[in-house]
Structure 1
């Protein structure tokens, strides 16, 4: 697989078109669907039909003090117990981060959050936590910074892009 180049300290966030084109270059034959904007997993499921890969649910969380931000990625039907997750992460209480935090830290909007959003976090203020049950996934549904498109991204490529952006991924079992 060719080297993946991610702007490490871009002054401007990547735009959806730039990321879309990067993914098409790096993953030959990538499957994707363009669609009306979606804001929930349920809306996406209704639209995506037979797009291969794991349908992901992404939650943007913050701790009580607002000093720690976490992007949690799990399978769409998995219930996220935030109290248990906070304990596993040795964190204070976790709650959903605001739309303003999402825009400021990851340069994206509600409904467009995915692990690819970390490419817009050159300061590494957001931690990536992925449900350990997704380790065996070959393809994962991701929005390329837009909730108007969903791509079936190769998991190896996705993890390489996240790593090349300077983020590490923490795999965590969300089971009890």
Structure 2
């Protein structure tokens, strides 16, 4: 396995454990959309996430992690995040290269794979108001619950300083 191989779920959990971060994971059938994951709400409390992997005109990449039902104005969000010009969606190849995940499994936990710090992580302020935030543990067949403050601690431990901003309308 090359040293650039994406981290596994178990490696992610070991990293969280090493930081003393509590986390709880529920396995489920793979979910590809917010609509498919709504069935899990009753068993998994907290804020549920939607992730947008985008890039600006200068090919700078951002991952916006917002509450699942939030609307993001892609024509305006560059103003909030400090992007250069309007944003577009990043290509799946870059998603795998930078975050080590495939479309449908995009997650803030992908920061663990972004060792070159190619991606700026943006956590929506409304999502972060939840005590618990739920993210895929690098694959969409499980949901990991973590305290919102610990999500920031995790990101900082990976070398990222996430921006907590209001990016939803």
Q: Please say if 1:80 is aligned against 2:72.
A: yes
**SS state of the match for residue 39, structure 2?**
helix
User: How many residue pairs end up in the alignment?
Assistant: 165
Give per-residue Cα distances to partners, 1:56-103, cap 9 Å, x unaligned: 1111011234x2000001111111101110122242111111111111
Identify which of 127, 137, 150 aligns with 1:134: 127
Note closer, same or farther for the CA distance 1:107–1:175 as it changes in structure 2 (3 Å cut). closer
Give per-residue Cα distances to partners, 1:120-152, cap 9 Å, x unaligned: 001100001111123322110111101111011
What are the residue-to-residue correspondences of 1:54-93 with 2, within 5 Å?
54-65=47-58, 67-88=59-80, 89-93=82-86
Identify which of 26, 29, 43 aligns with 1:33: 26
The CA deviation at 1:24 is: 5.9
- The aligned residue for residue 99 of structure 1 is 92
Note closer, same or farther for the CA distance 1:175–1:153 as it changes in structure 2 (3 Å cut). closer
Runs of 4+ in 1 over 6 A off after TM superposition: none
Q: Decide whether the 8 Å contact of 1:61 with 1:69 is kept in 2.
A: yes
Cα distance in structure 2, aligned partners of 1:175 and 1:46? 23
Cα distance in structure 1, aligned partners of 2:163 and 2:86? 19
The CA deviation at 1:32 is: 2.3
Cα distance in structure 2, aligned partners of 1:160 and 1:126? 17
Q: Decide whether the 8 Å contact of 1:33 with 1:48 is kept in 2.
A: no
Q: Decide whether the 8 Å contact of 1:131 with 1:172 is kept in 2.
A: yes
**Range with bigger deviation, 149-158 or 42-51:** 42-51
**SS state of the match for residue 109, structure 1?**
coil
CA RMSD in angstroms, aligned pairs only:
1.9
